Amino acid sequence: MNATATTSLRETFCTFTLGDLFFGVEVLQVQEVIRHQRMTRVPLAPERIQGLMNLRGQIVTALDLGTRLGFARRSHDEAMNVVIRTPDGVVSLLVDEIGDVVEVNRQQFEPPPDTLQGVSRELIRGAYKLEGRLLLVLDIQKAINEAA
């Protein structure tokens, strides 16, 4: 995923909001964005696992990113799915709203300040200082894997 970063200064992000946060995931990692789907809950599973859904015959695990970041659990009926390809398979992140695809300049990037602590510090790789707001870069691998 760093291939684009090293070859050019520009990167493209798929953005979405979660609570009051504005996140971005490198666009090449995103398989698709879909509306809320019917989920099958998985009892006994870690809290961040929202359920399983049927994506054209493929069973995809949906992760509640909000829970992962420590937001209170909300109703997910309105949630959108950002379906992401990872080395371990396809997962879906439940987010509040889908934003635009934005192109950013690497020079706008800055790692998170030390005052950012806890889980968020692990999941947020840094921020792009866009005009008017900060685009937070999500560390997908960490977001998916075991709770910190």
Binding site for other proteins (CB under 8 A): 38-46, 49, 51-54, 57, 59, 61, 88-89, 91, 144-146
Q: How far is the CB of 67 from other proteins (least distance, A)?
A: 13
**DSSP secondary structure code for residue 73 in this structure:** P
**Closer residue to other proteins in complex, CB, 41/133:** 41
Smallest distance, Å, CB 1 to other proteins?
Answer: 19
- CB-wise, 15 or 50, nearer to other proteins? 50
C-beta of 49 vs 134, nearer to other proteins: 49
CB-based burial label for 82 (10 Å; 0-12, 13-18, 19+): buried
Please name which of 135, 98, 23 lies closest in space to residue 68, comparing C-alpha atoms. Answer: 23
Rg (CA), the chain: 15
Provide the token pair at 71: 């937001």
What is the closest distance, in whole angstroms, from the C-beta atom of residue 63 to other proteins in the complex? 8
